[in-house]
Structure 1
Amino acid sequence: MFAYYLDLAVRSLKRNKVLTALMVLAIAVGIGASMTTLTVMHLLSGDPLPGRSGTLFYPQVDADPTNDYSHAEPLDVMDYRSAVDLWSAHRADRQTLVVDSKLKVHAPEVNLPPLMEMMLSTTSDFFPMFDVPFQYGSGWSADDDAKHARVAVISADLNNKLFGGTNSVGHTLRLRDTDVRIVGVLKPWRPSPQFYMVAGGRFANGQTDDFYTKPEDVFTPFTSGLEINDGNFWQFTCWHMPDTPGHLQNAPCVWIRLWVELGGAAKVADYRSFLAGYAAQQKALGRITHADNTRLRSLMQWLDFNHVVPSDVHLQTWLAFAFLAICLFNTVGLLLAKFLRRSGEIGVRRALGASRRAVFAQCLVEAGLIGLLGGIGGWLLTLTGLWLVRRQPSAYADLAHLDAPMFFATFVLAIMVSLLAGALPALRASRIAPALQLKTL
C-alpha cells in the first residue's frame, strides 16, 4: 500500500506545483536555519575526547589566603607550588602540568624572519593523556622533563611554515634566545574546545571564543619552558603583587593548570582523598586557609562548569527553532487547505470503501514526501549557512562543517516536522463525510 500511496502523493504534488513549492520552501528554510545553528552547537558542545574524557580530571586547590568565601569555588588554576607538589606526588595513572606563553620563534637554517607564536610548557604525559596525533617523531620522555632537556614538539602549521611540511625531526628551533631540538611534529590537531586550557569561562560574560582557538605551535618540557621564557607567562590572577616581578615560582599568583588521568572509580575516590589531605597539610603549614575547598571534576564536568558554548550560539539556536516553528505552522495551513480542496476526491474514496485510517495514511505519506523534498533543500541551505559561519571572525568559525550524524539529522528532522505538520490536516481530511461530498459532485 505504501507504494500506492506514494504514487498518489507524487500525482497530487504535480497537480499544484506552486503550492507544493511553497510548502517545500517553508520546510527547507526552517530546516536550513535550525540545522545551521544546531550543527554549530553540536560541534562546540561535543565531547573533545570520546572514550577518554571519563578518565580525565581537573583538580583544584584554594591557595588564595584572601578568599573570604564570598564564593564557594576555588580559583580555576593553581599556584606553582600546589601544582608541582601534586604533579610530583604521582598519585594518578598520568598527570600533566600546562601553562602557555608567547615568544619569538626562529629556525636558524631557514631564511624566514622570526615569528611570534604560542608555546605550551607541559610534561611528557600530555601527549598520551590527550591522545595527541603525531606526523613525525614523538613526544619527549619523563627523563627529559627531569633533565630540563632543550627539546620541542611543533604543530603541523608551524612545520609547514618553516620546513615546507617535510620531516623536521632533528632540526634546530630557536625559542627566544635558546636553541632546542625538534623531536616531534604533530598531525593537524584541532580539539573542540581547547579543553586543556579552559578556565574562567563563567566569569567572562560569555566571551569564551578563546576556548576554540587553535592549539599552540610549540610544545616544550615544563621546566625547560619556564627557563626559556622566564618572566613572560600570563597570570590568571594574583592576590597581591609579587615581591620580584617576573619570578612566578614563589609568587602569590595562580597560573598553572594540572590534569590527571584516573582509571576507575576507586582511583578517583583515592585521589579525591589525597587532594583533601594535601590541602589539610598545607593549611597546617600556614600556606593556605581553606583546606576543605578542593574540587576534582571530570573533563566534561569541567567544560559544563565553565559554560564553554558561547552564549550567542545558544541564543541563535533558540531563535532558529522558533523560526522553524513558524514555518511549521505555515505548512500546517497550506496542507490543510490542500487536503480540504480535495474533499470530493476523498469522499469518493471513502464511498468506494477506503477507511479513515487509509485516508489518514495517504495524507501522511504525501506530507512525508514534502518533508523529504524540504530536507534536500534544507541540507543545501545548511551547507550555505555553515559556509557563511566560516566567514565570520569568531574563533570557532573554521569548525563549522556538517558531519555524518548532523547530515542524517537534517533529513530526520525535516520528515518529522512535515509529518507533525500533516497530522492535523490528515486527521481533518480522514473525517470528511462521504455522503455530503457526493451530493456536491
Structure 2
Amino acid sequence: MLTYYFDLALRSCRRSKALTALVVLLMGCGVATCMVSFAVFRAAAADPIPWKSGQLFVPQIDNFGPAHNWKGEPPIMLSYTDAVALLHARQARRQVLIYGSKWTVLPDDARQQPSPQEGDAVSSDFFAMFDARFRYGGGWSAHDDDQRASVAVISSALNQKLFGGADSVGREINLDAHVYRIVGVLDDWEPRPRFFDVMSTFDAFGHPRQLYLPFSRAIDLQKATSGQFYCSTNTVDPDLPDWNSVLHSECAWIVAWVELPARADAARYRDWLRNYAAEQQRLGRFGWPPNVRLSDVMQWLHQDSFNVIPKSSALSLIVSVSFLLICLVNVIGLMLARFMRRAPEIGVRRALGASRGAIYRQFLTEAAAIGLAGGVLGLLLTALGMAGIGKVFEPEIARLARLDASLFLLTVLVAVLASLIAALYPTWRAAQVQPAWQLKSNG
C-alpha cells in the first residue's frame, strides 16, 4: 500500500507543480536556515572533552565573603594561597593549577626579531588530565615541578616556526632571556572551546597557546598573569606593590582543576573543600561559613559569571527556529489549499469504501514525500550556507561547524517531520470530507 500511496502522491505533485514547488522551497529555506544556525550553535556549545567531562572539576572557594561575592557564588578563580593548598593536599587523582602569561621568544639568530608568545603556566598533571596529544616527547614530571625546572612544552606551530617541524625534544628555547629545555611538542591539539583556560585567554575560541611551562617556575620568575586578576573590595588594592604581596593577597587569578573518576570521589572532595574552608574560618582568615563549589566541565562552561557560548550563536538559532515556524505556518495554509482542492476526489474514494484512516495515510505519505524533497533542497542550501557562515559568525567558531553525517541526516529528518506536522491539520480536514455532499454537488 505504501507504494500505492507514493504513486498517488507523485500524480498529485504533477497536477499542481507550482504549489508543490512553493511548498518544497519554503521547507528547504526554513530547514536550511535552522540547520546552519544549529551547526554553529552545536560547535560552540559542544562538550569539549565528552569522554571524561564528568570526571574533571573546578573547585571554588569563597575568600571574598558574602558582602563581596557575586549573588552568593564563590569567585570562579582562586587566590595563590588556596590554589597551592589544593595542589599540595593531593586529594584527587590529578590536580592542576593554571594561569596565563606572556613570554618573549628570543631567537638564536641575532638578525631575527624576538617574538611575543602567549603561554600557560601549568602543573605537571595538566597534559595527562586533559589528554593532550604529543607529536614528540611528553610533559614534565612532578619532580620537575618540585625542582622548579626550566623545561617547556611547545606547540607544533611554534616547533615548525623555530625548528622546521623536526623533533626538537632536548633542544633549548630562550624565553625572556632564560633558557628552557624542550621536553615535548604537542600535536595539533586545539580543544574548542579552551575550557580549561577560559579565564586566562578571554577568548575561549581564539588561537591556542604556544607555550606551556611549569607553574612553580613561573611563580619563581614572578611572571604576572595575562588573564583576569580581581580582588574583593575588602582586600588590598589591585595595584599590589610587589610579587610577595600578590602571592599573599586574597586576589583571585589562578584556575584549579581536579580529576575525580567516580561520583564518590567527587563527594569526598567536596567534603574536603568544606573542611578546608571551615579550617580557614577557624584560623580567622574567613569570617563567614564555608562557601564552596565543585563544578564539572559543562557546569563550569555554563556559569553565569561568564558566557563561553557566544550570544550571537544562541540568538541566531532562536531566530532561525522562529523562521522555520513561520515557514511551517505558510506550509499549513498551502497544504490545506492543496488538499481541499481535491475534495471531490476524496469524496469519490470515501464513497467507494476508503476509510478515514486510508485518507490519513494517503495524504501524510504525500506530505512526507514533499518533506523529503524539501530536505534534499535543504541539504543543498545548508551546504551553501555553511560555505559562507564565516561572514556572519565569528571566524573562530564558524570554522568549527561541519556538515557531517549527523547534520545530513538531521536536516532530512527535520524536513520530513516538519512537513508531516504541517500536514496534520490539512489531512484531518481532508478526512472529514462527507462523500454524500461531494457526490451531490458533482451530480
TM-score, normalising length: structure 1: 0.91
* Alpha-carbon distance, 1:54 to partner: 1.1
For residues 226 and 209 of structure 1, what CA distance do their matches in structure 2 show? 21
Question: Partner residue of 2:297?
Answer: 299
Partner of 1:369: 369
The residue identity in structure 1 corresponding to 2:210 is D
Superposition deviation, residue 179 in structure 1? 2.0
**Aligned equivalents of 1:160, 1:111: Cα separation in 2:** 19
Conservation of the 8 A alpha-carbon contact between 1:41 and 1:314: yes
Q: Which aligned pairs between 1:340-419 and structure 2 lie closer than 5 A?
A: 340-391=340-391, 392-393=393-394, 395-419=396-420
Q: Which range moves more in the overlay, 231-240 or 18-27? A: 231-240
Alpha-carbon distance, 1:310 to partner:
2.3
Instruction: Show the 5 A alignment for 1:120-269.
Output: 120-199=120-199, 210-228=203-221, 230-231=223-224, 233-238=226-231, 239-241=235-237, 243-247=240-244, 248-269=246-267
Cα deviations by residue, 1:409-437 (Å, 9 ceiling, x for unpaired): 21111111000011111222222223333
Q: Per-residue displacement from partner, 1:107-165 (whole Å, max 9, x unpaired)? A: 43698533222101101111111112222221111111112122211223323333343
C-alpha distance in 2, partners of 1:233/1:322?
41
- In the alignment, which residue of structure 2 is the partner of 1:16? 16
Aligned residues: 434
Distance 1:325 1:174 in 2: 59
Over residues 322-367 of structure 1, what are the superposed CA-to-partner deviations in whole Å (9 max), with x where a residue is unaligned? 1111100111111111112222332332233322211211111111
SS at match of 2:10: helix
- Alpha carbon RMSD of aligned pairs, Å? 2.5
Does 1:285 find its partner at 2:280?
Answer: no
Alpha-carbon distance in 2 for matches of 1:319, 1:114: 47
Change (3 A) 1:253 1:429: same
Tell me by how many angstroms 1:387 deviates.
Answer: 2.8
Deviation at 1:98, TM superposition (A): 0.5
For residues 114 and 359 of structure 2, the distance between their equivalents in structure 1, rounded to whole angstroms, comes to 74
Q: Secondary structure at the match of 1:212?
A: coil
What SS does structure 1 have at the residue aligned with 2:373? Answer: helix
Cα 1:232–1:209, aligned 2, differ >3 Å: closer, same or farther? closer
What are the Cα deviations for residues 148-205 of structure 1, in whole angstroms up to 9, with x where unaligned?
Answer: 12221122332333334343323322222122222222222232321112359xxxxx
The C-alpha deviation readout for 1:180-237, integer Å capped at 9, x for no partner, is: 222222222232321112359xxxxxxx972222331111111123345623544420
Amino acid at match of 1:428: R
**Unpaired runs of at least 5, structure 1:** 201-207
- Worse-matched range after superposition: 213-222 or 348-357: 348-357
Residue 287 (structure 1) shift: 2.8
Identity rate of aligned residues, in percent?
A: 43
Tell me, yes or no, if the aligned pair for 2:199 and 2:227 is still in contact at 8 Å: no
- The farther-off stretch of 23-32 and 54-63 is 54-63
- For 2:395 and 2:67, the matched residues in 1 are separated by 35
Structure 2 SS opposite 1:113: coil
Whole-angstrom CA distance in 2 between matches of 1:165 and 1:358: 68
Deviation at 1:72, TM superposition (A): 0.9
**Which residue does the alignment assign to 2:42?**
42
Amino acid at match of 1:403: D
Distance 1:430 1:164 in 2: 73
With the length of structure 2 as denominator, give the TM-score of the two structures. Answer: 0.90
CA distance in 2, matches of 1:15, 1:166: 67
2:105 is the alignment partner of 1:117: no
Counterpart for residue 51 of structure 1: 51
Using the alignment, how far apart are the partners of 1:100 and 1:283 within structure 2? 30
Unaligned runs of 5+ in 2: none
CA distance in 1, matches of 2:426, 2:314: 33
How many angstroms apart in 2 are the aligned matches of 1:209 and 1:376? Answer: 40
Structure 1 letter corresponding to 2:21: A
- CA distance in structure 1 between the partners assigned to 2:110 and 2:138 by the alignment: 22
